[in-house]
Amino acid sequence: MAKKKEVKKRKLNKKRFFIFLIILIIIVLLIYKLFNTNITNIYISGNSYLTDQEIIDMAGITKYPNSINNMSYSIKNRLEKNKYIYSAKVNKNLFLNKVYIEVKENYPLFYYQSEVKTILYNGDKVDDKFSTITVINKIPDTIYDKFLSKLKQVDNDILNRMSEIEYKPNDVDEERFFILMNDGNYVYLTLNKFLTINKYIEMIKSFDNQKGILYLDSGEYFDTFNE
């Protein structure tokens, strides 16, 4: 008669079970903590026209809500739906309580007097008026898009020095513009040489900060007003 095979009972490793239980409890507590974590700190960068508070309001996190219910991509989508936000990057720290928002504003490029509209960076037209450059006359449709493209490439510190722009063609060039600067200087330039305006500050310094007319449409020379 065959003998019955004895089945050895494996003893419970209490030490391993205890470690497993501790790890499981920690994981459960961490998950619970994360799902009940509110946003506590918000850091904003890249803005100049919009205030930090306006961006926080646009992001929908004014009352520092639950972080899981306000994921980074959701905050980003809310921001980019606003007409004054061109793009946004949103990140959080490991514990999800800190939000880092970096925006590129769809800022006002100029006030288009002939249409009574403000033109934004992406070309949109809005009724709101800002303290910005005024284009005082109509630019032909055949030139407008090129003008917009060139103006977007001008450094912000130079844009902030511009007061008025006038479309002022002559017999030589139909893409010629006249610019009144906030410091009292005048500038003539064409679209083909438009980006030379980015050197405006160093050019003016080379003329001992005198006031006059800077011709960038034909060469680069400066006539002072007292000559």
- Lowest-pLDDT range, 26-30, 85-89, 137-141? 26-30
Whole-model pTM: value is 0.80
Report the C-alpha gap between 225 and 63 in whole angstroms. Answer: 57
CATH architecture of 136-224: 3-Layer(aba) Sandwich (3.40)
Percent of the chain predicted with pLDDT > 90: 71
Q: What is the pLDDT of residue 10?
A: 64
| pLDDT tens for each residue of 169-185 | 999 999 999 999 999 99
| pLDDT tens for each residue of 47-64 | 988 999 999 999 999 999
Sign of CA dihedral 19, 20, 24, 27: positive
Report the C-alpha gap between 88 and 58 in whole angstroms. Answer: 12
Task: Decide if 131 contacts 123 (C-beta within 8 A).
Answer: no
Q: What is the pLDDT of residue 23?
A: 86
Task: Decide if 120 contacts 83 (C-beta within 8 A).
Answer: yes
Q: What is the pLDDT of residue 83?
A: 95
Q: What is the pLDDT of residue 6?
A: 61
Angle at 44 between CA 39 and CA 45, to 5 degrees: 155
Say if residue 4's pLDDT is above 90. no
Q: What is the pLDDT of residue 147?
A: 97
Report the C-alpha gap between 118 and 125 in whole angstroms. Answer: 6
Q: What is the pLDDT of residue 16?
A: 79
Task: Decide if 121 contacts 153 (C-beta within 8 A).
Answer: no
| pLDDT tens for each residue of 139-159 | 999 999 999 999 999 999 999
Note the helical H segments in the chain: 14-35, 52-59, 72-80, 141-152, 156-159, 200-206
Q: What is the pLDDT of residue 150?
A: 97
| Domain chopping of the chain, boundaries | 35-105, 136-224
CATH architecture of 35-105: Roll (3.10)
Q: Which residue has the higher pLDDT, 181 or 222?
A: 181
Given this chain, do its domains 35-105 and 136-224 carry the same CATH topology? no
Q: What is the pLDDT of residue 77?
A: 97
